[in-house]
Amino acid sequence: MEKCPVCGEEIYQGEENQIVTEYQSEQFHFCSEEHRDEFEESPGEYT
Ligand SMILES: [Zn+2]
């Protein structure tokens, strides 16, 4: 089970609503596009 690194919410791996980004060649999954954007702004805070 993946967790959103921004808020810690568990991500259910539905086929439609995958919100993913890659950082330091690792994939991160997010609960929402907002949290993906927050992560991408300052990934160092969440890893
Ligand atoms: Zn989140």
Tell whether the model's pLDDT for residue 13 goes beyond 90: no
For the chain, the structural domain boundaries read 2-45
How many angstroms from the chain centroid is the CA of residue 44?
13
Tell whether the model's pLDDT for residue 12 goes beyond 90: no
Give 30 Cα–ligand 1 centroid separation in angstroms.
6
Give 24 Cα–ligand 1 centroid separation in angstroms.
20
Environment class of 11 (CB within 10 Å of its CB; exposed 0-12, middle 13-18, buried 19+): middle
End-to-end CA distance of the chain: 17
Give 36 Cα–ligand 1 centroid separation in angstroms.
8
> How many CA atoms does the CB half-sphere of 10 hold within 13 Å?
2
Tell whether the model's pLDDT for residue 1 goes beyond 90: no
Residue 25 neighbours by CB under 8 Å, 6+ apart: none
User: In the predicted model, what is the mean pLDDT of residues 23-40?
Assistant: 96
Give 16 Cα–ligand 1 centroid separation in angstroms.
17
pTM of the entire structure? 0.85
